[in-house]
Structures are given as structure tokens and as C-alpha cells.
């Protein structure tokens, strides 16, 4: 049995959902055109993951095995809808930018994956730590992809101009192919780094 | 653990009921905020359509609202309809601005569920420029005086038939000549 600290830290690097487990690739590719969007999506996933992990861990002993999937979907969909409504009310510019990808968090593999692989087998404390680690992991990853695409695609980070006026932005990085290119390079770098560090 | 059908159904029923209750509670908080912001955005759009607008009067026709706009000397300058069309991904809510001679001078899509990159052409110049300038006396019929966007036939066709219907309402209720 792993320690509580390991339960948290595994999501950051070792089992990072984006770069190691390769879960939730759809939003990773679609909405990371800027650092802010990546961060916003990451935080939304974080919130839903934390809430759903808690609830699913609490109800894990009451829900019959055969109907656990629909039960999880109900729980996850509820938190996603709450996220959708709250963002729409208080952060409208983010809500507009993320658009259809907010409701699609319902089918995000990270959340369903953690529910099925972790929260339904572990107690609430461990599930919370798992969600915190995975949530921070996915937020960092999406923000990182967003930073790189925004920096080279538009010359800024979080809207602040970094590269100066002489910089010619690589427009392709803001387009869908740019997402694949960025993600591919990052995955390669991470794999190389992990191999060198001897983490498997 | 024995798992009877009744127990499974009851579990889902209870979870569903709790989720539904929670959602309606959150909605109670957020809905007024969202509505208020939508109204502010609409009024900004209205001023964009008719910069000289001084006063407006809301008029409900069917389940849609039309804003009768007047300038500072009380002259009728145009009407903005808050209306809906049937799109490919459900209802499209939009504002249609028509001036006092019955020409469409602007439109704004306020919410839609059309496919990104395909049906959402309705929010862009490519589609909107085909509609702006048309008069309520024009046919506004696909293939006659205006074309749908290929690949987005259902979205743009739905918009066009809705615009035709809205123009009929505007012509009947607001155009006196």
C-alpha cells in the first residue's frame, strides 16, 4: 500500500494523466491555444475530478456493481453542469472560449478513469489525495501546452507580450496541427527525461 | 452481495434525485446572473445596431420579444427582434435588427449549439453578409435571392427560414407603409 504522500504525488509526474497516462487528449489538443484557456480547462477538470472522486468514494459501498457506471455518470455530469453554470455566470469569457468542451468533461477519460480505477476501491482521504495530485497534474500539463503554443504562436504568455514586436508568430501552433506537434514534442521530451531518470 | 433489480433502480433513482436537487439549487444562484449579463450584452448590441437610439419598448409577439426603437425626437428608427431559429444542434438564439424601411442592418447570434467549424458559420461574416441588406418585401428564400452555405445547409437553412418568419412578423407589426 502506498503512502498518503505518494497517493498525491503520483499524479504530478510519475502518473501524470496527460503525459504519462495519455488520458483526456481531446481537450489537451483542442483548447490549449493559450495559457489561460489551458489553465481554465485544467481547473475545471480539477474541480470536477475532486468532487466526483469524493462522492464516488463515499457511495462506493452502496452502489450495486452492475449500475455503477450510470451512477458515476450521473455524479460526474452533475458536477460538470455545475461547473458549466458557474463559469457561465462568473467567468463568461472563459465559458465562451471553452464552449462545448465544458459539457464534454463528462466523458473526459481522466475523471471516469480515476473513478473506476481509484475512487471506487479506496477511502475518501486517499481519493481526495488522488484527485488533488491528478488535478494539479492535468492543470500543469494543459497550462504548459498552452504556454508553449501561446508563446510561439502569438508571442505572449497569459496575454502578456514576451517576445517583443520583432517576433514573427508561428501561426501554425495556434491551429489544431500545432497542438499535435506541441504535444508530440513534449511527450518525446518527457519520455526521454523519464528514461534518463530511470522512472518507468 | 445480492443485487436485485429493485435495489439497482432505487439506487439510481436516489442518486438522480439528489443530483437534480443540487443542480436546481445552483441554477437558482447562477440563472439570474447569467440572465442579467445576457440583457447587458443585448443592450450593447442594440446600441451597436442603432447608435442614435434614445428609447426602446419591448413587445412580446408569440414567445419572442421585439424592441421598438426610437431616436431622441421620438421617431421610429427600427426594431430588434430577440428570436430563435431551429439549427442542427438545437435552438439558435439570435438578434435581428431591421431599420425603419424594413432592411436587415445587423444580426448577432447570442447562443447556439452548431458544430464548431461547420455550422457555426452562422456567427461569421461569410453567412451574415448574405443576409444583411435584405428587405422584408424580398423573398428571402434559399436559391432565389440568398444561398445557404454548403456543408452547413441545415444550420444556414434553419436561419434563413427563421429570418423569413421573423421578417413577416416585423412587416406585419412594425412596418406601416
What is the tens place of the pLDDT at every residue in A62-105? 898 889 999 999 999 999 999 999 999 999 888 988 888 899 99
Give the pLDDT of residue A83. 94
Q: What angle do CA A17, A139, A100 make, to 5 degrees?
A: 90
8 A C-beta contact, residue A163 and residue A151: yes
Is B39 exposed, middle or buried (CB count within 10 Å of its CB: 0-12, 13-18, 19+)? exposed
Give the C-alpha separation, B140 to B157, whole Å: 11
Beta strands at B55-61 and B90-99: parallel, antiparallel or unpaired:
unpaired
Q: So what's the ipTM on this one? A: 0.80
Give the pLDDT of residue A2. 78
Residue showing cell 421620438 = B74
8 A C-beta contact, residue A63 and residue A87: no
Q: How far is CA A135 from CA A57, A150, B24, B92, B148, in A?
A: 16, 22, 26, 34, 44
Q: In the sheet where B90-99 sits, what is the strand order?
A: B55-61, B64-70, B76-87, B90-99, B104-111
Give the pLDDT of residue B89. 87
Asked if the Cβ–Cβ distance from A78 to B12 is below 8 Å, we say no
- Partners of B15 on chain A (C-beta within 8 Å) are 59, 63, 71, 74-75
Q: How far is CA A154 from CA A83, A172, A176, in A?
A: 29, 10, 15
- CB of B21 less than 8 A from some CB of A: no
Q: Rg of the Cα trace of chain B? A: 21
8 A C-beta contact, residue A185 and residue A173: no
Count Cβ atoms below 10 Å from residue B47 Cβ, excluding itself: 13
Tell me which residue range forms the domain holding A191. 4-197
Residue showing cell 424592441 = B67
Residue numbers of B between 104 and 163 with CB closer than 8 Å to A:
113, 116
Give the pLDDT of residue B3. 62
Residue A1 has pLDDT above 70, yes or no: no
Give the pLDDT of residue B32. 95
- Partners of A66 on chain B (C-beta within 8 Å) are 3, 8
- CB of B173 less than 8 A from some CB of A: no
8 A C-beta contact, residue B80 and residue B59: no
Give the C-alpha separation, B48 to B114, whole Å: 25
Asked if the Cβ–Cβ distance from A71 to B3 is below 8 Å, we say no
Give the C-alpha separation, B173 to B167, whole Å: 10
Give the pLDDT of residue B81. 94
Residue A167 half-sphere exposure toward CB, CA atoms < 13 A: 15
Mean pLDDT of A135-140: 95
- CB of B13 less than 8 A from some CB of A: no
Give the pLDDT of residue B65. 93
Asked if the Cβ–Cβ distance from B34 to A89 is below 8 Å, we say yes
Give the C-alpha separation, A52 to A78, whole Å: 9
What tens digit of pLDDT does each residue of A146-188 get? 999 999 888 888 888 888 777 888 888 888 889 999 999 999 9
Please state the domain count of chain A. 1
Count Cβ atoms below 10 Å from residue B172 Cβ, excluding itself: 10
Q: How far is CA B59 from CA A30, B62, B102, B141, B170, in A?
A: 41, 10, 18, 27, 11
Residue A52 has pLDDT above 90, yes or no: yes
Residue B90 half-sphere exposure toward CB, CA atoms < 13 A: 4
Consecutive 10-residue averages of pLDDT for chain B (177 residues): 79 94 95 92 92 91 92 92 93 94 93 83 92 92 91 93 94 83
Residue B6 half-sphere exposure toward CB, CA atoms < 13 A: 0
Amino acid at each position: 500500500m502506498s503512502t498518503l504522500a505518494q497517493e498525491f504525488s503520483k499524479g504530478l509526474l510519475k502518473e501524470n494523466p496527460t503525459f504519462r497516462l495519455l488520458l483526456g487528449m481531446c481537450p489537451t489538443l483542442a483548447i490549449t491555444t493559450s495559457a489561460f484557456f489551458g489553465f481554465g480547462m485544467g481547473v475545471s477538470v480539477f474541480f470536477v475530478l475532486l468532487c466526483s472522486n469524493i462522492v464516488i468514494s463515499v457511495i462506493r459501498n452502496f452502489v450495486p456493481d452492475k449500475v455503477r457506471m450510470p451512477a458515476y455518470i450521473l455524479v460526474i455530469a452533475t458536477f460538470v453542469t455545475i461547473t458549466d453554470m458557474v463559469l457561465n455566470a462568473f467567468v463568461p469569457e472563459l465559458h465562451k472560449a471553452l464552449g462545448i468542451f465544458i459539457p464534454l468533461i463528462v466523458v473526459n477519460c481522466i475523471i471516469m478513469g480515476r473513478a473506476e480505477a481509484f475512487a471506487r476501491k479506496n477511502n475518501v482521504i486517499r481519493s481526495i489525495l488522488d484527485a488533488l495530485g491528478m488535478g494539479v497534474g492535468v492543470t500543469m500539463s494543459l497550462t504548459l501546452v498552452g504556454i508553449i503554443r501561446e508563446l510561439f504562436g502569438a508571442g505572449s504568455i497569459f496575454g502578456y507580450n514576451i517576445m517583443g514586436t520583432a517576433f514573427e508568430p508561428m501561426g501554425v501552433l495556434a491551429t489544431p496541427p500545432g497542438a499535435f506537434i506541441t504535444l508530440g514534442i513534449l511527450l518525446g521530451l518527457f519520455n526521454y527525461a523519464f528514461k534518463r531518470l530511470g522512472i518507468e | 452481495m445480492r443485487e436485485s433489480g429493485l435495489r439497482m433502480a432505487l439506487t439510481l433513482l436516489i442518486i438522480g434525485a439528489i443530483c437534480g436537487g443540487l443542480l436546481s439549487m445552483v441554477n437558482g444562484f447562477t440563472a439570474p446572473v447569467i440572465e442579467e449579463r445576457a440583457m447587458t450584452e443585448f443592450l450593447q448590441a442594440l446600441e451597436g445596431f442603432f447608435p442614435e437610439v434614445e428609447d426602446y419598448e419591448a413587445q412580446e409577439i408569440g414567445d419572442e420579444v421585439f424592441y421598438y426603437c426610437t431616436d431622441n425626437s421620438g421617431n421610429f428608427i427600427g426594431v430588434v427582434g430577440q428570436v430563435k431559429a431551429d439549427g442542427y444542434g438545437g435552438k439558435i438564439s439570435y438578434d435581428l435588427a431591421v431599420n425603419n424601411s424594413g432592411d436587415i442592418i445587423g444580426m448577432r447570434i447570442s447562443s447556439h449549439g452548431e458544430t464548431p467549424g461547420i455550422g457555426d458559420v452562422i456567427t461569421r461574416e461569410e453567412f451574415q453578409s448574405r443576409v444583411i441588406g435584405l428587405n422584408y418585401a424580398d423573398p428571402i428564400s434559399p436559391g432565389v435571392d440568398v444561398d445557404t452555405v454548403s456543408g452547413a445547409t441545415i444550420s444556414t437553412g434553419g436561419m434563413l427560414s427563421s429570418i423569413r418568419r421573423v421578417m413577416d412578423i416585423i412587416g406585419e407589426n412594425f412596418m406601416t407603409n
